[in-house]
Structure 1
Amino acid sequence: MNPTMNDWGRPLLVEDATLCVSELVGNAVLHATPDGSSAAFGSVRRITVAFRAWPNWLFIEVADEDSAPRTLPVGDPVEYVLTDLSSEGVLQDSGRGLHLIQCLADAVWWTPREVGGKSVFCRFGLEDGENG
């Protein structure tokens, strides 16, 4: 990803984009079961990652073969206060990766694909001065 971002003149996005791709691909690997298939270990899965750059936007798309909708976190982030509760009692069991993506990217959404499955997108705004 680093050469692509450098070729596009956007080296400052490398870390944020890498983290977002890692989270989205990780979610697809862990949670996406191809339509009509079982979730058996070792079953074949197809995950596609695409990058698209326009003058003012960078789009990252991660597509999988599972049509089940992604649940995106909504609302304000939870602020954690030091208490005598353990972190397991305070932190959610899921959604932290998507929340992280929502904090880094300008937008996150998903859409069903015409061929089955879904795509999850994140979008980064490219400011004029962001050239490294």
Structure 2
Amino acid sequence: MTVNVTKTGGHTAEITWTKDDDLQGRIARAVESDQLAYALTALGQRVLHGTPDEVLATAKHTTALARLLERRAADQVVQLHDIHGLSWRRIATVLLDDPEKHSSIRRMYETGRRNSGI
């Protein structure tokens, strides 16, 4: 992994990456738009605090980042199966902690293929 998250002490961390890590600029956009900050806020707080507009903004950014991550996960399933030759059961065991959920992995695979136009 070339993106680095370094705990700098207490409750602080530093994220570093290179242009090669982010060829499409997704990481940069997530940071610059505060999308990552909003999503991390939602990750850390079960109940969000703030005005309705602030909570709505947090939900908006969290949902957008979650959709992007779901798409990237589906793309990775395609790579795991097509490029690395892993079985549905093995992928399901690692990604979903259940080898019986191979049909869910196949659905992710089909989504990943559609995402890439295959």
TM-score calculated relative to the size of structure 2: 0.27
Give the TM-score normalised by structure 1.
0.25
Q: Which has the higher strand share?
A: 1
- Greater share of helix: 2
